[in-house]
Chains A and B, each alone.
Chain A
Amino acid sequence: MDDLQQELRAAERAAATPFVDEPRSEAWYPLLMAAFVTAMAAGPVLVAHGLGFPGFSLQALALAAVAFYYVGHHQRAGAVPRMRSAPPEVQRAYVVLLVGALAVVIVSVVAWSINGWPSGLTAVFLSSLALVWLYERRLYPRAVTLLRERLA
Chain B
Amino acid sequence: MTSPIAAVDAVIHAPKRLAAMAILDATESVSFSFLREHLQLADPDLSKNMSALQAAGYVRVAKSGRGRGSTTTYTMTRSGRQAYHRHRAALIAMLDAPGAPP
Task: Please determine whether B27 and A81 come into contact, CB atoms closer than 8 angstroms.
Answer: yes
- Residues from chain A with Cβ under 8 Å of B9 in the complex: none
Complex Cα distance, B15 from A33, in Å, reads 40
- Residues from chain B with Cβ under 8 Å of A16 in the complex: 26
Q: How far is the CB of A16 from chain B (nearest CB, A)?
A: 7
Residue B91 interfacial (CB < 8 Å) = yes
Q: How far is the CB of A85 from chain B (nearest CB, A)?
A: 5
Q: Mark A18-41, 1 if CB is under 8 A from B, else 0.
A: 110100000000000000000000
Complex Cα distance, B76 from A18, in Å, reads 14
Complex Cα distance, B27 from A21, in Å, reads 13
Task: Please determine whether B100 and A80 come into contact, CB atoms closer than 8 angstroms.
Answer: no
Q: Which residues of B contact A (CB under 8 A)?
A: 15, 18-23, 25-31, 33-34, 37-39, 71, 88, 91-92, 94-95, 100-101
